[in-house]
Amino acid sequence: MRIDIITVFPEMFRGFLGESILSRAVRAGKVLFRVVDLRDFARDLRRTVDDRPYSGGPGMLMKPEVWFDAVESLRTPEARVVLTTPAGEPYVQRKAEEFAACEHLMFLCGHYEGIDARVREIVTDEVSIGDFVMTGGEIAAAAMVDSVVRLLPGVLGGGAAATANESFGRDGLLEAPQYTRPPVFRGMSVPEVLLGGDHAKVENWRRGESIDLTSRRRPELVK
């Protein structure tokens, strides 16, 4: 998979992409990252990428021509061009799985007051990671990149089983609580069923706990 990230703050991604699972995925040849500075496509010596909005209002808007030039210079026929925006569709696990099946993803990270609306003409997906506003799309893009790359075959140890029973997985429920050693910590004990070695009972317990947890915290998922 190839992932391009277009931003005016490329340094924000340097450490993030060079650590942990993402770095391992690069070394294994599972993904190729390119972080592109939008200012490289500016048309003046000051590398300007924004301007005042028509009709007034606070802040500055990012200019359409720099985005068109950047996307058109990098885009492949199979590319999904993803704009991070509070107005986008909610980003959920199913979307991560959909993106993980793509050959080429491009993330457009807006900043300042926003992006000229005409940029939507070159976008295939508008996505939001939650009902809140941030100063830019870099953190949203980073979250989506992480959620996608970990789903690529061979990136996580344990194969398909590593992600099959996670929250929002096959049944759409939250994952059941998990425990490790010691069996008792500060008076809190690991549930007895997890210590007995009966796999059928363990699975039944996990299923019940998953439904109970989801019902209490995310009832809309149970529906």
* 71-81 pLDDT per residue, tens: 999 999 999 99
Q: Describe the strand order of the beta sheet including 61-62 as a list of residue ranges.
A: 50-51, 61-62, 114-115
Two tokens, residue 59: 């802040």
pLDDT at position 57, please?
Answer: 80
Q: Could you read off the pLDDT of 159-170 as tens digits, one per residue?
A: 554 555 566 666
Sign of CA dihedral 180, 182, 187, 190: positive
To the question of domain 2-149 being in CATH 3.10.20.600, the answer is: no
Q: Coil, strand, or helix at residue 16? A: helix
Confidence bin at 222 (pLDDT 50/70/90): confident
pLDDT at position 166, please?
Answer: 60
Q: Could you read off the pLDDT of 91-109 as tens digits, one per residue?
A: 999 999 999 999 999 999 9
Ranges 4-18, 66-80, 160-174, 180-194: which has the least confidence: 160-174
- What are the boundaries of each domain within the chain? 2-149, 165-222
pLDDT at position 162, please?
Answer: 53
Query: Which pTM was predicted?
Result: 0.85
pLDDT at position 163, please?
Answer: 54
User: Domain 165-222: what homologous superfamily?
Assistant: tRNA(m1g37)methyltransferase, domain 2 (1.10.1270.20)
Contact 88, 119 (CB under 8 A): no
What mean pLDDT comes out for the span 196-201?
94
Distance CA 152, CA 26 (A): 11
pLDDT at position 76, please?
Answer: 98
- Mean residue pLDDT across the chain: 92
Q: Which residues contact 25 (CB under 8 A, 6 or more apart)?
A: 31, 149, 152, 155
